[in-house]
Structure 1
Amino acid sequence: MNYATFHPDGTLHLRLIKGTHEIPKDAVEVDDALWLRLIRENDGIWSIGADGRITKQLLPAPPQTREDVERLRLAAYAEPVVGSDRYFAEANRMQVMGEEGWETVRDAGIARFNEIQTRYPWPEDHVAR
């Protein structure tokens, strides 16, 4: 049997296991599914409402730095199947070898490059160089 205790403001205080911990009178018994969530999920604040229902409020994601965005963009560009770099490499090879259609491949690379930049925008405090 698993239990949880809560601070006066309703936020989670302790997670307790019967037989391992002394269980206080105000502890709330939690089922196995909720227990697993209480011990595994650390992306929010667990609390108990006036109705006795235990819920989690998600924490806001930390703001991304310029370096974070650049790392995400570079990885996306270089992704071997859906990245933009593969199109540019293929278009370059086609052009050097005199193959037709390299412009279409290049344009697909440009489109994918722009999609990646839209997906990973610079932080608001980023100053253009």
Structure 2
Amino acid sequence: MSTFYIPSQQTFYNDAIHPKIPDEAIKVNNEQYRDLLAGIAMGKVVEVGIDKALMLVNASRLPFTKDEVTINRLIAYSNPLTGSDRFKAEAYAERLAGNEKAATEADVKMMVRREEIRKENPWPEEA
């Protein structure tokens, strides 16, 4: 029995109940399903990020100015626990150590996280 998220319908399907799963379906494990349902119950909405990664975002965003979005993005990028800049520092350290493969992996993680942050903080005309 598998659970899937259907972005265009903003709902979940279960293959034990639904004989036909739409092509756009994104498979979620039990933990993701519980987390997404809990977020939805708290007023968040599910958005699809890079590589079909599902993330919860605030449903009632206030319209921000471009300057406010820029500030929010910069703060998010620099967060030492969840930001993208930590991967940039990791890539730099790995390159200094001569480990190009690990540095490239950190670069990819940085780009993925930056895109997630951009989606979480869209420009006013994109919201």
Q: Structure 2 length as normaliser, TM-score? A: 0.48
- Greater Rg over alpha carbons, structure: 1
TM-score (norm 1): 0.47
Richer in helix (by share) = 2
